[in-house]
Amino acid sequence: MKQDSEELRGLVDHLSTVLQEELFKPGRGKTERPASSPLSAPSRSCRSGQDSSPQASDAWIWQDWHINPVGGGLNGRLFRASGPAGDVATKFLVRDERDRAGREWAALTKLAENASTLAPQPLLLDRDRYPQQVIVQSWLEGESSDTAPEDDAAWEALCQHLLYIHSLPIGQGHPAIRPVVLFVTSPFDALQAISFQHNCLPRTEWSQAVNDLVDQAQLLSWPSWPRPPLRFCRGDPNIRNFIRRPFSWASVDWEYSGWGDPAFELADFLVHAAHITWPLKQTSRLVDLYCAHSKDTAIRERIAVYETLMLIWWTLRLGRLLPEARSGVDKRLVQRPQSWFEERLKLQERYLQLAVDALEVRKTAL
């Protein structure tokens, strides 16, 4: 949509100004307060309630654009806008070593060339002009939900969606696709990722149970295998990133994507914080379907090993996140209410117990 770049640029200029007003307004950053309205009153020229997005009551009109803030994760701010350049999603992302917008742009470009119905179309990327990285993409119609797929047909559709993504060829392409953010192709890689999380805090700041868990994982004799063939992976299989349609699924939020091991992506789905309360028989349905379709005869073993190691990784990631969030070291674009900290503490305790149990099962099996 090159012909609409001027309209898109004007939209991004406006939204960036609105976002900076919000981020730097007095009183922001006090974690005990719930997240405030995403817009200050002077930023709105007109209200509208004709949108079904999570924050539709905060919609406004600017020039010829009808704009709605859309709720979601903490790492970015998303706005849906309908106007001269069509129905678009404008995403502002925190700056870090992951190059989130650039990584998502590369993924959407590759998908547009190989599987145009699976993801939004990339429209504009800017890493430099604004305080946050920005990517604009077409709005992807469909339903996003935090619930499990409702029946076997839905699980099969999700499986086919992942199989198609993982089948995309490795090519030169432009821009280049990098390895996924959390690149794991062996137990050694996973143990390295666990050590990194553990070393982010002094050992004395971890509970004895967590330190024992990490020590036992490092001492255990894990299986080895030849490096699996790399495939294009989402990198963040949170169920809310999958868009449900009547007969197929699509995906948004590709900021962690790249080349990786599909077995690790499946294991990450099994133990993801967004799904950890689902009954195991539900999430294991995806593994059964995927393994039945895959020609990779060793994939089930790799999934099982990664699953245990990722339970440990999540225990540490959540344990590290809490003090870093309270101190302000972990910066996000969305304010955390106090309830978020309480929920994450309970979640970390749940992961610790699951990881201890899973490691004990693996030790017994050796």
Ramachandran region of residue 99, left (φ > 0), alpha (ψ -120 to 50) or beta?
left
- Judgement on whether residues 134 and 158 belong to the same structural domain of the protein: no
Instruction: Read off the pTM.
Output: 0.85
How many Å apart are CA 214 and CA 8, to the nearest integer? Answer: 48
How many Å apart are CA 12 and CA 182, to the nearest integer? Answer: 30
pLDDT in tens, 59-101: 999 999 999 999 766 678 999 999 988 899 999 998 888 899 9
| 108 token code pair | 């959407």
Q: Is the pLDDT of residue 192 over 90?
A: yes
- Judgement on whether residues 55 and 129 belong to the same structural domain of the protein: yes
Please check whether residue 102 lies inside any domain of the structure.
yes
Q: What is the CATH number of the domain that holds 213?
A: 3.90.1200.10
pLDDT in tens, 174-186: 678 999 999 999 9
Give the structural domain span for 116: 2-138
> Count of domains in the chain?
2
- Judgement on whether residues 90 and 183 belong to the same structural domain of the protein: no
Mean pLDDT of the chain: 86
The whole-number pLDDT of residue 100 equals 93
- Judgement on whether residues 78 and 168 belong to the same structural domain of the protein: no
User: Listing from the earlier edge strand, what are the strands of the sheet with 122-126?
Assistant: 47-48, 59-62, 65-70, 76-83, 86-93, 133-138, 122-126
- Judgement on whether residues 124 and 157 belong to the same structural domain of the protein: no
Q: What is the CATH number of the domain that holds 52?
A: 3.30.200.20
> What is the average per-residue pLDDT within 173-198?
92
- Judgement on whether residues 131 and 36 belong to the same structural domain of the protein: yes
Please check whether residue 209 lies inside any domain of the structure.
yes
- Judgement on whether residues 228 and 305 belong to the same structural domain of the protein: yes
- Judgement on whether residues 361 and 242 belong to the same structural domain of the protein: yes
Please check whether residue 144 lies inside any domain of the structure.
no
How many Å apart are CA 52 and CA 116, to the nearest integer? Answer: 25
Please check whether residue 266 lies inside any domain of the structure.
yes
- Which of 87, 106, 138 delimits the end of a domain? 138
Please check whether residue 147 lies inside any domain of the structure.
no
- Judgement on whether residues 38 and 176 belong to the same structural domain of the protein: no
> What is the average per-residue pLDDT within 162-180?
83
Percent of the chain with pLDDT over 70: 84
- Judgement on whether residues 174 and 303 belong to the same structural domain of the protein: yes
- Which of 138, 166, 188 delimits the end of a domain? 138
Percent of the chain with pLDDT over 90: 67
Please check whether residue 357 lies inside any domain of the structure.
yes
- Judgement on whether residues 227 and 339 belong to the same structural domain of the protein: yes
pLDDT in tens, 307-346: 999 999 999 999 988 777 776 666 666 667 777 777 888 8
Please check whether residue 146 lies inside any domain of the structure.
no
Report in angstroms the alpha-carbon separations of 242 from 155, 198, 214.
12, 30, 32
> What is the average per-residue pLDDT within 14-31?
75
Segment of 23-27, 37-41, 152-156 carrying the highest mean pLDDT: 152-156
The whole-number pLDDT of residue 47 equals 27
Is 243 in contact with 140 (CB distance < 8 Å)? yes
- Judgement on whether residues 245 and 294 belong to the same structural domain of the protein: yes
Q: Is the peptide bond before 120 cis (omega within 30 degrees of 0)?
A: no
- Which of 89, 115, 138 delimits the end of a domain? 138
Please check whether residue 294 lies inside any domain of the structure.
yes
Q: Between 143 and 330, name the one with better pLDDT.
A: 143
pLDDT in tens, 207-255: 999 999 999 999 999 999 999 999 999 999 999 999 998 888 999 999 9
